[in-house]
Amino acid sequence: MPVQPAEEFGRHLRPPLPCDGRRYPSLLLRRTEGTILIDYPIRDFHTTLLEHVVGFRGAGAAAYLRELRLAVSRNGGCTDHTGRWTVEQVDVAGPRSLLIQLHEEFEDPSGQPAGKDSYLIAARTGRVVVVLADVGWEMGSGHPDTIGGLIDAALRRAGTVAV
């Protein structure tokens, strides 16, 4: 069952602003947004999905995707305080949509260096952008196939949002 995330959970994905948040003037055109978390069963276990929907005025949705692609595509990706952002695939869910990997480094509970990968798809339908992310479970990584199989349904739902 979907739930509202805690204020800070996945903040860096709502919406993603990798590698310098000042590169996204389209955010001034945001009109509405919302986020849900889903504990989603997968073959061997379960994972956490985050779905963030942003409604824009005018051409803001297209501008945001263009700005996101420019930020993450330079020099094969970019690194910021969150981690390493890399474009894995373009046009994965319609024109200008992106599949992005986010690799985060941290210390595990024993103090040893560890890392995990989250995957997100950013796509649009009309004036609405959908960010669907598999952030994994606790210290486990997400999977791109999980969100790849769900993005079309997320875009259909978002297409019913009035902005």
pLDDT digits (tens, 9 = 90+) for 33-55: 999 999 999 888 899 999 999 99
Intervals of the chain under pLDDT 50: none
Rounded to two decimals, what is the model's pTM?
Answer: 0.93
The sign one gets for the Cα dihedral 66, 68, 69, 71 is positive
Can you give the pLDDT at residue 163? 65
Ranges of beta strands (E only) in 42-151 are 46-56, 78-79, 84-90, 98-107, 113-125, 128-136
Angstrom distance (rounded) from CA 39 to CA 49 = 7
Q: What residue ranges define each of the domains in the chain, with the CATH number in brackets? A: 21-158 (3.40.1000)
